[in-house]
Amino acid sequence: MDFYLDTADINQIKEIDKWGILRGVTTNPSIIAKTGRDYQDAVSEVLAIMGNRHVSVETLKDDADIIVEQGKKYREWGNNVVVKVATTEEGLKALSQLRKLGIPTNATLIFSLNQGILAAEAGANYISPFVGRLDDIGSDGIGLVEDCVNYVEENGLDCKIISASLRSPQHLEESAKVGAHIATCPYSLLQKALKHPLNDLGLKAFLDDWEEAKRKLKK
């Protein structure tokens, strides 16, 4: 399972990139708005850091023609741009057209298997089931990820599943268990996923033993 970072915060991207696990970044207008920066400027800086790794950039209108034009424009910003499209009727039209143009797409806001199937069949290269938002209303977000994985793999579709809207380390573990191809995570979640109380105890014991060994060697 590949790890993507769900952010537009340059410092967060640079930090996680040092871990050696980062394979892509997902952004959206809400995330970029929180930075207070111009949309293109913010995205361009992310693209420069990521090199040839994927960066999902979301379109800003629910109109197929405008989505396609925005998608073309985004690809001019960088060959690693994946055009992020909301899964609506207009979005499906745009996914199909962008596929024909050879522009990779990420169908976002997937809340049901039906939506996932339609987006995949329309030509999306990636589809993003929203785990946390579904769990918030009592639905099974991880179950939807698993269903989408099974559908694209059983039907041989050129489409990968991005487990999105992850809220906890458990979501990350469960995404891996059900075969998600990618998990996109907020910075805070990756920090939590790395930590375990036994790590601190084990590290302290190791360092204490080492200091004791050094003291004995000096005697």
List the structure tokens of 124: 């999306």
Dist CA 184 CA 7 (whole Å): 9
- Active-site option among 14, 61, 73, 84: 84
Half-sphere exposure of 138 (CA within 13 A, CB side): 0
**Contacts of 212 by beta carbon, 8 Å cutoff, 6+ apart:** none
List the structure tokens of 93: 């039209």
**Contacts of 149 by beta carbon, 8 Å cutoff, 6+ apart:** 161, 178, 179, 180, 181
Which pTM was predicted?
Answer: 0.89
Residue in the structure block whose two tokens are 């394979």? 23
**Known active-site residue 84:** yes
Q: What are the residue ranges spanned by the domains of the chain? A: 2-218
Q: At what angle do helices 89-100 and 113-122 cross, to 10 degrees?
A: 30
Query: 2-218 adopts what CATH topology?
Result: TIM Barrel (3.20.20)
In this prediction, residue 205 carries a pLDDT of 62
205 CB-contact burial (10 Å; exposed 0-12 / middle 13-18 / buried 19+)? exposed
In this prediction, residue 5 carries a pLDDT of 98
pLDDT in tens, the chain (219 residues): 999 999 999 999 999 999 999 999 999 888 888 888 899 999 999 999 999 999 999 999 999 999 999 999 999 999 999 999 999 999 999 999 999 999 999 999 999 999 999 999 999 999 999 999 999 999 999 999 999 999 999 999 999 999 999 999 999 999 999 999 999 999 999 999 998 676 666 656 666 665 666 676 776
